[in-house]
Amino acid sequence: MVSTHIMEIHPEFEELRRESESWWYQTRRTLLREAAQQAVRNQREGVVLDLGCTAQVAFEDAALYRVCNLHSSLKTLAFRQMEGDANLVCSGMDEMALGSNSVDGIVAGDVLQSCADDVAVLREMRRVLKDGGLLCLTAPAYSFLWGEDDEARGHQRRYTISELRRKVTTSGFHVHRVSYFVASAFVPMVMGRAAKNIFHKSISSHQHYPHPSRAANAAMTTLLDGERHLMHYINLPFGTRVVCWALKPALVTEAVTVPGWERKWARRPLAQGSG
């Protein structure tokens, strides 16, 4: 009741609620939750970082497995608190208020495109992730799909598979897989972008994606669930989103563990002259 009353007072909370129920947000949550479960699989305990508060992960055994929800927006964190999320952290993504090697997995739903320095954020993810930890992230695909919604949301860029793979690798990760996603909406989105370019619609007339009907929302969710299951076997060749799974490499123990000077002085002494 309190949550509903607050949303009536603050329309932006209602907008966040409607977005969280859309077909893309629902599908992305399922995808990232799968990655979060994979990150702590076969571990006695673990911590997963939900960067951007988009996965809404909830482990059955909360005593052993915890979720840290991090975002730089107080409005988003307030909304997530009203929705029942815990362990909320307000912090910049390029300098996270977390210790090094402190989380077992990171899921990041559509956050890189809004960062001024995406490589710095990726390196910060690597810092807080434990050796061998899993990173799963999504990002908008193809610069030619850039539109009014990107401008309204403060996006800096869109990605291709090769560009995202290069940046993740440069940041010190080992890329496990990269695939396009939301192939079902690719052709309609290309046609929509072409139409808007022809008619030159103003950004002020459309600040967010139009909210689909309940039936259309359910249909798209079902369709993307099929794509998500298909991605278990193949990488999709195109789509409106890019999905990347990467690992932080474990430190390699050097073959030589004794310093050279110590080995030298550990040798048997040379025979002394008889004088």
pLDDT score of 94: 93
The token pair at 274 is 């008889």
Strands 46-51 and 174-181 come out as: unpaired
Q: Rounded distance, CA 94 to CA 251, Å? A: 23
Q: Is 95 left (phi over 0), alpha (psi -120 to 50) or beta?
A: beta
pLDDT score of 195: 72
Residue 31's contacts (CB-CB under 8 Å, 6 or more residues apart) are 136, 138, 181, 228, 243
Assess contact for 35 and 107: CB atoms under 8 A: yes
Give yes or no for residue 190 having a pLDDT over 60: yes
Q: Which H/E stretch holds residue 40? A: none
Q: What's the burial of 7, exposed, middle or buried (CB within 10 Å: 0-12/13-18/19+)?
A: middle
pLDDT tens for residues 119-146? 999 999 999 999 999 999 999 999 999 9
pLDDT score of 274: 44
Give yes or no for residue 191 having a pLDDT over 90: no
pLDDT band of 63, cuts 50, 70, 90:
confident
Residue 77's contacts (CB-CB under 8 Å, 6 or more residues apart) are 53, 69, 71, 88, 90
Q: How many Cβ atoms from other residues are within 10 Å of residue 32's Cβ? A: 27
Closest among 170, 37, 46 to 107, alpha carbons compared: 37
Q: Rounded distance, CA 133 to CA 261, Å? A: 36
Q: What is the DSSP letter of 185?
A: G
Give yes or no for residue 66 having a pLDDT over 70: yes
Sign of CA dihedral 226, 179, 38, 42: positive
CA 101 to chain centre: 17
- Cα–Cα distance list, 270 to 264, 266, 273 (Å): 12, 12, 9
pLDDT score of 207: 46
pLDDT score of 247: 97
The token pair at 19 is 């977005």
pTM over 0.95: no
Give yes or no for residue 15 having a pLDDT over 70: yes
Tell me the average pLDDT across 248-263.
Answer: 55
Taking all residues of the chain, what is their mean pLDDT, rounded to a whole number? Answer: 85
Sign of CA dihedral 202, 220, 160, 244: positive
Tell me the average pLDDT across 101-120.
Answer: 96
Closest among 22, 21, 3 to 13, alpha carbons compared: 3
Q: What is the CATH number of domain 2-250?
A: 3.40.50.150
